[in-house]
Chains A and B, each alone.
Chain A
Amino acid sequence: MQAALGAPDTTGTRRPGVIGWLMMTPMLLWLFAFVIAPTLILLVYSFCQRDDLGEVVYVFTWDNYRRIFFDSDTGAFGTTYLTVFVRSVVYAGLTTIICLIVGYPVAWFIGRAPESRRNLLLTLVMIPFWTSFLIRTYAWITILSTNGLLNGFLQYTKLIAEPFEMLYTPGAVVLGLVYSYLPFLILPVYGSVEKLDNSLVEAAFDLGAGPMRAFQKVILPLTQPGVIAGVLLVFIPAIGMFAISQLMGGGTDPTIGEVIQNQFMQARDWPFGAALGMTLVVLFAVAFWFTSRHQSVVEN
Chain B
Amino acid sequence: MELVNLLCAGWSGVVFLFLYLPIVLLVVYSFNASELSIIWGGFSFEWYEKLWNNGPLIDATKNSLIIAAVTTVLSVVLGTVGAWLLYRYKFPALRALGTLIFIPMVIPEVIMGVSMLILFTVVAVPLNAWLGTFTEAEFARGFATIIIAHTTFCFPFVLVAVQARLAGVDPFIEEAAMDLGAPPLKAFWLVMVPYLLPAIVSGALMSFTLSMDEVIVTFFVTGPESQTLPLKIFGLAKKGLDPSLNAVSAVFVLATAVLVVVSDRVRKLNR
Tell which of B12, B16, B107 has the most Cβ of chain A within 10 Å. B12
Chain B residues near A90 (CB-CB < 8 A): none
- The digit string for A9-35, where 1 denotes a CB below 8 A from any CB of B, is 000111110011001101110110011
Let me know if B85 and A20 touch, CB within 8 A. Answer: yes
Closest to A288 in B: B106
- The digit string for B78-106, where 1 denotes a CB below 8 A from any CB of A, is 10011001001111100001001101101
Known: A19-B185, A280-B108. A31 touches B97 (CB 8 A): yes
Chain B residues near A257 (CB-CB < 8 A): 108, 110, 216
Let me know if A127 and B88 touch, CB within 8 A. Answer: no
Closest to A11 in B: B90
A297 smallest CB distance to B (angstroms): 22
Q: Name the one of B38, B78, B249 contacting A139, with C-beta atoms under 8 angstroms.
A: B249
Tell which of B5, B115, B155, B175 has the most Cβ of chain A within 10 Å. B115
A70 sits at the interface (CB 8 A): no
Task: State the CA gap A261–B25 with chains docked (Å).
Answer: 32
138-166 of chain A: CB within 8 A of chain B: 138-143, 145, 147-149, 151-153, 156
- The digit string for A76-87, where 1 denotes a CB below 8 A from any CB of B, is 000000000000
Q: Name the one of B110, B118, B220 contacting A240, with C-beta atoms under 8 angstroms.
A: B110
Q: Name the one of B92, B117, B260 contacting A264, with C-beta atoms under 8 angstroms.
A: B117
Known: A35-B103, A211-B1, A277-B110. A19 touches B12 (CB 8 A): no
A230 sits at the interface (CB 8 A): no
Let me know if A237 and B118 touch, CB within 8 A. Answer: no
Task: State the CA gap A132–B64 with chains docked (Å).
Answer: 13
Task: State the CA gap A30–B79 with chains docked (Å).
Answer: 11
A205 sits at the interface (CB 8 A): yes
A65 sits at the interface (CB 8 A): no
Let me know if A280 and B8 touch, CB within 8 A. Answer: no
147-190 of chain B: CB within 8 A of chain A: 148-149, 151-152, 155, 171, 175, 178, 183-185
Let me know if A127 and B38 touch, CB within 8 A. Answer: no
- The digit string for B110-122, where 1 denotes a CB below 8 A from any CB of A, is 1110111111001
A174 sits at the interface (CB 8 A): no
Task: State the CA gap A133–B209 with chains docked (Å).
Answer: 12
Chain A residues near B78 (CB-CB < 8 A): 26-27, 30
Which applies to chain B's interface (DSSP): helix, strand, loop or mixed?
A: helix
Let me know if A112 and B148 touch, CB within 8 A. Answer: no
Let me know if A277 and B115 touch, CB within 8 A. Answer: yes
A57 sits at the interface (CB 8 A): no
Let me know if B259 and A39 touch, CB within 8 A. Answer: no
Let me know if A139 and B1 touch, CB within 8 A. Answer: no
A42 sits at the interface (CB 8 A): yes
Chain A residues near B230 (CB-CB < 8 A): 132, 134
B127 sits at the interface (CB 8 A): no
Known: A1-B184, A141-B241, A247-B237. A13 touches B91 (CB 8 A): yes
Known: A123-B264, A284-B108. A260 touches B114 (CB 8 A): yes
Let me know if B264 and A41 touch, CB within 8 A. Answer: no
- The digit string for A210-254, where 1 denotes a CB below 8 A from any CB of B, is 010000000000000000000010001101111100110000000
- The digit string for B18-37, where 1 denotes a CB below 8 A from any CB of A, is 11101101100100000011
Which applies to chain A's interface (DSSP): helix, strand, loop or mixed?
A: helix
The segment out of B41-49, B50-58, B250-258 that lies at the interface is B250-258
Let me know if B101 and A131 touch, CB within 8 A. Answer: no
Task: State the CA gap A13–B89 with chains docked (Å).
Answer: 7
A110 sits at the interface (CB 8 A): yes
Chain B residues near A147 (CB-CB < 8 A): 36-38, 241
Tell which of B19, B37, B238 has the most Cβ of chain A within 10 Å. B19
B101 smallest CB distance to A (angstroms): 7
Task: State the CA gap A110–B5 with chains docked (Å).
Answer: 11
Task: State the CA gap A41–B119 with chains docked (Å).
Answer: 7
Task: State the CA gap A186–B25 with chains docked (Å).
Answer: 23
Let me know if A240 and B109 touch, CB within 8 A. Answer: yes
Task: State the CA gap A179–B233 with chains docked (Å).
Answer: 18
Known: A141-B237, A264-B220. A16 touches B38 (CB 8 A): no
B269 sits at the interface (CB 8 A): no
Chain A residues near B195 (CB-CB < 8 A): none
Q: Name the one of B36, B90, B238 contacting A13, with C-beta atoms under 8 angstroms.
A: B90
**What are the 10 closest A-B residue pairs judged by CB atoms, nearest first?**
A152-B38, A240-B108, A38-B115, A139-B22, A240-B110, A42-B115, A109-B8, A132-B213, A139-B26, A135-B249
* Chain A residues in the interface with B (C-beta under 8 A): 1-2, 4-6, 8, 12-16, 19-20, 23-24, 26-28, 30-31, 34-39, 41-42, 45, 102-103, 105-106, 108-110, 112, 119, 121, 123-128, 130-143, 145, 147-149, 151-153, 156, 179, 182-183, 205, 211, 232, 236-237, 239-243, 246-247, 257, 260-261, 264-265, 270, 273-274, 277, 280-281, 284
In addition to A112-B8, A182-B15, 15 A-B residue pairs with Cβ atoms within 8 Å of each other are A20-B88, A27-B78, A30-B155, A35-B100, A42-B114, A42-B115, A124-B20, A138-B233, A149-B38, A153-B38, A205-B1, A240-B216, A243-B216, A274-B114, A277-B114
